[in-house]
């Protein structure tokens, strides 16, 4: 069974701090990797794809370590609006959908 | 706005009643999916349709049926609702490419009493 494991948190972080999440995945054949953000009672929304070489989008940096089968997300200079649940998501490349982690709950405190 | 539209947004059913959740996308995506999300369980795939005319079971298909009516529409039917089907249901669509994410609808909150 394909699995994606995340620390559920919550992570309580002061505004302006840097916070990092990791997740691990079990299927070594996985091909695509994503971080999604989900606000309370809302649908998941794509935050960023994760590339083998690592990628950055503003304050967000994602890294992929295929050898160790883990994915990371770094948020710098955190804002109150970053409070949400962050879902680690993995795809085998087929049409059978994505495998979601259960999410890490982040709370940014003023 | 282009995207995935789900109806209804909220529904309360009595045990044994049937209903159909509707989903439509206007992004010309080939693949469409139905997920359910329960507290502490994360998102779980119920059924998917890789292309028009095909449907396949996901992780938790029991108690559900689906229809891919055309490229745009993918419906989920509960023939005889059970309290265990109380959940939030999300429809999603996907085009192609390794680095394209899914687009989700806003969800249907279903309560079965």
B36 touching A (Cβ < 8 Å): no
Give per-residue pLDDT as tens, B16-58: 999 999 999 998 888 899 999 998 788 999 999 988 989 999 9
The CA-CA-CA angle for residues A66, A72, A76, to 5°, reads 150
Suggest the residue from B99, B106, B110 to mutate for an interface test with chain A (most A CBs closer than 10 A).
B99
CA distance A5 to A36: 14
* Chain B residues inside the 8 Å CB shell of A100: 42-43
State yes or no: pLDDT of B100 exceeds 90. no
Q: What is the three-state SS of A22-82? A: EEEECCCCCCEEEEEEECCCCCCEEEEECCCCCEEECCEEEEEECCCCEEEEEECCCCHHH
Q: Compute the average pLDDT of residues B66-81.
A: 96
State yes or no: pLDDT of B98 exceeds 90. no
Contact flag A44-B31 (C-beta cutoff 8 Å): no
Give per-residue pLDDT as tens, A86-107: 999 998 766 667 888 999 999 9
- Which one of A46, A95, A103 has the shortest CB-CB distance to B42? A103
């Amino acid at each position: 069974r394909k699995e994606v494991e995340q620390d559920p948190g919550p992570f309580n972080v002061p505004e302006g701090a840097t916070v990092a999440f990791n997740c691990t995945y079990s299927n070594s054949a996985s091909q695509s990797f994503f971080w999604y953000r989900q606000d309370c009672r809302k649908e998941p929304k794509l935050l960023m794809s994760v590339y083998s070489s690592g990628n950055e989008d503003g304050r967000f940096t994602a890294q992929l370590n295929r050898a160790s089968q883990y994915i990371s997300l770094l948020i710098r200079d955190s804002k109150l609006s970053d409070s949400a649940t962050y879902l680690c998501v993995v795809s085998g490349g087929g049409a059978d959908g994505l495998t979601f982690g259960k999410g890490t709950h982040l709370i940014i405190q003023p | 706005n282009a995207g995935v539209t789900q109806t209804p947004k909220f529904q309360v059913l009595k045990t044994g009643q049937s209903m159909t959740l509707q989903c439509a996308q206007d992004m010309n995506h080939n693949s469409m999916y139905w997920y359910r999300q329960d507290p502490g369980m994360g998102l779980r795939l119920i059924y998917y349709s890789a292309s028009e005319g095909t449907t396949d079971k996901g992780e938790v298909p029991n108690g559900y049926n689906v229809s891919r009516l055309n490229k745009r529409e993918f419906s989920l039917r509960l023939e005889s609702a059970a309290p265990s089907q109380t959940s939030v249901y999300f429809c999603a669509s996907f085009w192609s490419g390794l680095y394209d994410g899914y687009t989700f609808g806003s969800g249907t909150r279903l309560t079965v009493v």
